[in-house]
Structure 1
Amino acid sequence: MTRTQATPTFEMTVDLNVLEHLGINLYSNIAAVLTEAVANAWDADASSVQIRVDPNSEWIEIEDDGIGMSVDDLNGKYLRVGYRRRDEDAEHGRRTAKGRPAMGRKGLGKLSLFSIANVIEVQSSKNGDTHGFRMSVPGIHEAVQEKRPYHPEPLASETLTVTRGTKIVLHEIKRQRLGKGVSALRKRLARRFSIIGQANGFEIKIDGQPITAADRGDLPKVQFLWTFEGHEPEANTISHVMERESLSARFDAWDSAWRVSGWLGTARKPKDLDDDEAGNLNGIVVFARGRLFHENVLDRLNDGRLYTKYLTGQIEADFLDADDQPDIATSDRQRVQEDDERYIQLISFLGSQLNKLEKRRNEWRRKHEVEKAKETSPALAEWLETLPEGYRKSAETLIAKLSALPVDDEDDRKLMYRHGILAFERMKLRGSAEEFVTSVESADRLLAVLADRDSLEASLYRDIVKSRLDAIRDFQTIIDEDAKERVLQKYLFDHLWLLDPAWERATGSPIMESRLTTEGVLIEDMTEKERLGRVDIAYRTNAGKHVIVELKKVGRKMGLLELVEQGQTYVDKLMKILREQNQTSPDIEVIFVLGKAVDEEASNPDRLKSSMASISPGSRIVHYGTLIRGAQEAYSRARRSTSSKRSWTGFEVAEV
């Protein structure tokens, strides 16, 4: 270029092809499209928006009673792509005449109508003047090809029917984008606005029926609810909620104007959040200025923990759409620019609140699900009661997790409980019960653990048998070494299965033992015990049976009459106590554990048998040596053949 040449002039133009990207191909569903039309009605200070859908899906009509538009408004605002109301309308751009915060911002929303219809008619009335026009996708395409401006076709005055506000009629509907009908549309629109209702003076109707907050369908699915400070749902919408707690509405370091509102909740089962019409409710929607701003912020949290499968919620965060800050909504207003500091702060805040939520939810689930499971399965309740305190909490967590897995048939759930208990007992013996409970995060993972049930049960019973044989050897050592009486007593009563394998679940009764001590049956005085040649006596209950076990010193020689007299005294006093508790025919057994045989065992076994029966049916004498040999034989057989496991152990879960 020489110095004498003129400076070139440059010009930027926008082709009508932009409509292909910003309108016709930008939106994918009818709810998103109608959201833009409803938002425009809100900005026009409408109190009511009427949506009517042709039963044959030939047309859709959206009519509002807002301030309407003049010809200049239609040309300068509605037909002007990119009109930025908040910046260009000094008087009511950010706040409407009614004081509403304006929802519109980019000036692109009206183009979304082309996503679902090929022909659009717009008519509007303002200050008594009514005007309208028709736009069509073929007409726009023709203007694009001829590289000329597009001029919508004016509507004849006799076809104009609106007398107040604006009416938009969509023709030549693209049926593939209509979704699943009016009922589904009602639910989906309800989930896109938080300003619906009398409190905000704004009503949306579809075919004459108002959309309500109840149409959102999420809150009725909630079992546990967390509300942000200052947010109070209507009482009738949360009457079913089992537990509720409040969460902070902001970080302390935030700007004073920054805070959130709304609620978070968890369903009892993930499938409860499946809604064929409203879509999957497993997500947290974010509103700003009363309209959907982000469809599901939960996806952005990258939290893969199990509890997220139960989450739903609605959060209002107006600071994401502040007038004096850059617009961070994407063109379709379904998502946001994720590198914006406001959004990053929201994600950080939600993450901190969800950590608190998960911890509380686990506590509540263990409480409620375990109680529910115990009500439906008494055997499960009985099993939990047999566990030491250290294991019981882990077991309750396991039951709560199993109850939440997606199983429709209750018989299948009981089967799952049964297999879970087997696995828990197996892992408990190996010292890894807590690890097993933690691993149960899904049905697939549980099935992997329980893939071979027979092998699992066999290995469980092998472990039980091994531990029992080890215990028998330890007991033999205690007797052979003539251990202190208290050691002998404690060991036997900690391993009552040595007396009878069916006594796996026999339990003590501190209250009853106290009563027996008062009655003089249980003796705490060591001098008196030595006089009687007694190691100790203890009381147990087992499946409705009352069992009194009397231990004698290994070297003490007892007479039959002495045993009968003691046994009858025990029974009489226990009967007295039980009758006071309205047990008129209790089943009582007295078992004497001796080191030396009584004479009648060899000389007169019939007399021995009748004497024991005179104490109470089932009463008997057991010898330390015989007890050990019998237990060794039973558990050695069991070790050789786990197929007989139900006959040699009281660990029974078949009826859980």
Structure 2
Amino acid sequence: MGAKSPRLEIRFRGRVIEHLGIDMYQSPVAAIAELISNAWDADASSVEVVLPGDLNTGSEISIRDDGFGMTLAQCQDRYLNVGYNKRKENGKDVTGSGRPMMGRKGIGKFAGFGIANFVRVETVSGETGERTVFELDASQLIEGADSYAQNDPLEVDVIDYDGPAEDRCVDHGTTITLRSLTLKKTPNADQFRTSMARRFLLLERADEFAVSVNGERIAEVDDIEKIEFSFPRDYEDSQRPANLTVDDDGWGVERLVNGHQVKWRFVFYKEPISDDELTGVSIFSHYKLAQRPFLFNLTGGFGGQQGTSYLSGRVEADFLDDQPRDLISTERQRVNWEAEASEPLLAWGQARVKSLLRIWQGFRAQAKVTAMRDRMAPFSIRLGRLERPERKVVEKALESIAKITTLSDEQFADLAQAMLSAWEGGRLKGLIDDLASADELDADALVKILAQSRVMSALHAAEHVKAQLNLITGLEERVQRRELENHIRDYIAENPWLISPRWETFRVERGVRGLMEEVAKEIYGKDWDARVDLVLSSGNQLLVVEFMRPGLKIDWDHLGRYERYVTRLRNATAARFSEFKSVSGLLVADKLDKAQDVMDKIEKLRQDDMEATDWLGLLERSKKQWADYFEILHDRAPDDDRMKQLAGN
């Protein structure tokens, strides 16, 4: 076209800095991870990150490394050269010490602008001893973009410079200081350390490279006590992949169909993982995160899918960062899985995740069955009463329930016991039989079981309540006929749950009887030789029940002595028995004095947790409480025929 042919130029604007720094690295972990990567490529042996204790106008973050540093010329040619490709310029993919290079795009240096307005660089060259200090201003780079992009390059002032000096070479390294921070909250050093460790988890294999945050080194965080299964360690022989080997660190090593090697370790936690940085499988390449945790793009429809919320894994795939075409996104968050070079890893990951989820499901089921059998040990007599074929059906049904991995151990135990009781009572045998023959249980079946379990629990409780009501009615009739009064009192003393639902958890308490007799003699006289009829306890509560002799009526004098007795007993119990925080009283007689002052006194005592009543009043109130309890249970399954039958009896 001739000597005067027109020319085209590629110009970049300052907005490029905004996109490559501010937009991509808005979290301190992501931004500082890029600067740590630069330290790795500079053959540093240590990196020290210092975070501020609080945020104010003078707060700073510093990242100091002991790498080879830069000369003044290298600051210009490398650091200030946007898009400088270390690998291409050096003609190799390793550093001077033989490390695989992390950097590739030449833009990680701008990551600091994601969390700060100023990036200050102080570097000492290990080659010449030159010391150079300069600072970059985000606003100057972005707002003044048009002028320097279209005309002359933007000038960067050198704040301080010391020429070559051999004695300074030993102090080689680079310190990046981020000033005028744009963070909205102060970074938590512990959380920051954990998150950074997960970005450079595999750096723990590199003994010659240490990263510390506020003086404490980042380290692998496995939460070993929270992990239930770890692979490849927990493979059974029949489950191991054919070409799997295990290295000295317990990591699995396999070769993909394209010949590239991967190393991996997957763990399943005991409880669902709530941390997004931990849930799923992370991919690392050359010791650095290349793909944030994911499930190899699986979308569902596979066995053991509930296990995905328990799964955390790490895969080392260095070949991803060795391809001619860059497969890793700029901010190191995701891999291009549509590329030909990455497809074999994606297929391997999907197969490995599906396989391990099925294995996990089986392991969890077996663990739950074992736990169930331990819990069901007290019911061995009941299980032994079942015919062998029936016992096998119930056990298979329980194993089917055990495979529902979202059930907690407590929920599983409740369901297991409800199913056993249902079978014994001749209920829901068809459903239990279906469960026994089911290979897997879907969500609809689980909902059905839970609904039926609710009905079963309500029915069992309702039958119990109905039995209490029938017994109370019988006692009430005997009291009215004044039959067997002593036998009735003794029976109630042994079965306090007959009186009120709230007494069901109470048991006879003998440890305080001596104290009670002492207090009784103080109140009723030294010659008192009557017995305390009943002392019950539940948790930190003590209940004292006194049955007055037949034929006596509760009057003002009885109430006065009763009030003094319970009050004195409360004080004495608090002084001697720290386990009991409250003392309640109940006085029962054949009759009540109906005088208004007596009735007012009884009401006042009731407010102070000291009941006084006659037999008929006590039984009538008890009957009402049990009836109210039955109504609550009835409302849980009002349409069930068995509940209707109970309600009609």
Shorter-chain TM-score: what band?
Answer: 0.5 to 0.7
Change (3 A) 1:439 1:122: same
Q: Relative to structure 2, which stretch is displaced further, 391-400 or 114-123?
A: 391-400
Change (3 A) 1:218 1:76: farther
Measure the CA separation in 2 of the matches of 1:259 and 1:380.
53
Measure the CA separation in 2 of the matches of 1:300 and 1:414.
35
Q: Could you tell me which residue of structure 2 aligns to residue 154 of structure 1?
A: 158
Contact 1:264 1:311 in 2 (8 A): yes
Contact 1:249 1:261 in 2 (8 A): yes
Map residues 430-509 of structure 1 onto 2, 5 A cutoff.
Answer: 431-433=433-435, 438-439=440-441, 446-447=446-447, 449-451=449-451, 453=453, 455=455
Measure the CA separation in 2 of the matches of 1:198 and 1:438.
41
Q: Could you tell me which residue of structure 1 aligns to residue 258 of structure 2?
A: 254
RMSD, aligned α-carbons: 3.7
Q: Relative to structure 2, which stretch is displaced further, 302-311 or 27-36?
A: 302-311
Contact 1:229 1:247 in 2 (8 A): yes
C-alpha displacement at 1:65, in angstroms? 0.5
Measure the CA separation in 1 of the matches of 2:106 and 2:375.
58
- TM-score, normalised by the number of residues in structure 1: 0.59
C-alpha displacement at 1:418, in angstroms? 4.4
Paired residue secondary structure (2:39): helix
2:231 to 218, 226, 239: 226
Paired-residue identity, %:
27
Map residues 77-476 of structure 1 onto 2, 5 A cutoff.
Answer: 77-90=78-91, 93-126=92-125, 127-148=128-149, 149-157=153-161, 163-176=171-184, 180-197=187-204, 199-213=206-220, 216-217=221-222, 220-227=225-232, 229-233=245-249, 249-251=254-256, 253-255=257-259, 258-270=260-272, 273-275=273-275, 279-298=276-295, 300-303=297-300, 305-322=305-322, 324-378=323-377, 387-389=390-392, 392-401=395-404, 404-405=406-407, 410=410, 414-418=413-417, 426=428, 428-429=430-431, 431-433=433-435, 438-439=440-441, 446-447=446-447, 449-451=449-451, 453=453, 455=455
Paired residue secondary structure (1:13): coil
Q: Could you tell me which residue of structure 2 aligns to residue 502 of structure 1?
A: none
Instruction: Tell me whether 1:16 sits opposite 2:23 in the alignment.
Output: no
Structure 1: gaps of 5 or more residues: 235-245, 462-638, 646-656
Paired residue secondary structure (1:438): coil
Measure the CA separation in 1 of the matches of 2:421 and 2:278.
35
Q: Counterpart of 2:213 in structure 1: which amino acid? A: I
Measure the CA separation in 1 of the matches of 2:194 and 2:258.
34
Q: Counterpart of 1:225 in structure 2: which amino acid? A: S
Measure the CA separation in 2 of the matches of 1:381 and 1:199.
55
Contact 2:263 2:317 in 1 (8 A): yes
Measure the CA separation in 1 of the matches of 2:347 and 2:158.
52
C-alpha displacement at 1:365, in angstroms? 1.5
Contact 2:278 2:312 in 1 (8 A): yes
Contact 2:14 2:143 in 1 (8 A): no
Map residues 42-81 of structure 1 onto 2, 5 A cutoff.
Answer: 42-57=40-55, 58-81=59-82
Contact 1:426 1:460 in 2 (8 A): no
Measure the CA separation in 1 of the matches of 2:455 and 2:416.
17
String of CA shifts for 1:225-278, please: whole Å, max 9, x gaps.
1136333437xxxxxxxxxxx866134x332xx1111201111221xx224xxx
Q: Counterpart of 1:308 in structure 2: which amino acid? A: T
C-alpha displacement at 1:189, in angstroms? 0.6
C-alpha displacement at 1:99, in angstroms? 0.8
Paired residues, what number?
A: 435
Change (3 A) 1:207 1:60: same
Change (3 A) 1:436 1:201: same
Map residues 494-533 of structure 1 onto 2, 5 A cutoff.
Answer: none
Q: Counterpart of 1:164 in structure 2: which amino acid? A: H
Measure the CA separation in 2 of the matches of 1:303 and 1:249.
25
String of CA shifts for 1:487-530, please: whole Å, max 9, x gaps.
xxxxxxxxxxxxxxxxxxxxxxxxxxxxxxxxxxxxxxxxxxxx
Contact 2:281 2:313 in 1 (8 A): yes
C-alpha displacement at 1:163, in angstroms? 3.1
Measure the CA separation in 2 of the matches of 1:209 and 1:202.
14
Contact 1:373 1:380 in 2 (8 A): no
Measure the CA separation in 2 of the matches of 1:413 and 1:391.
14
Measure the CA separation in 2 of the matches of 1:198 and 1:343.
24
Contact 2:365 2:403 in 1 (8 A): yes
Q: Relative to structure 2, which stretch is displaced further, 293-302 or 390-399?
A: 390-399
Contact 1:423 1:456 in 2 (8 A): yes
Change (3 A) 1:359 1:23: same
Q: Counterpart of 1:360 in structure 2: which amino acid? A: I
Structure 2: gaps of 5 or more residues: 163-167, 233-243, 462-639
String of CA shifts for 1:579-612, please: whole Å, max 9, x gaps.
xxxxxxxxxxxxxxxxxxxxxxxxxxxxxxxxxx
Measure the CA separation in 1 of the matches of 2:86 and 2:432.
69
Q: Could you tell me which residue of structure 1 aligns to residue 235 of structure 2?
A: none
Change (3 A) 1:280 1:141: closer
- TM-score, normalised by the number of residues in structure 2: 0.60
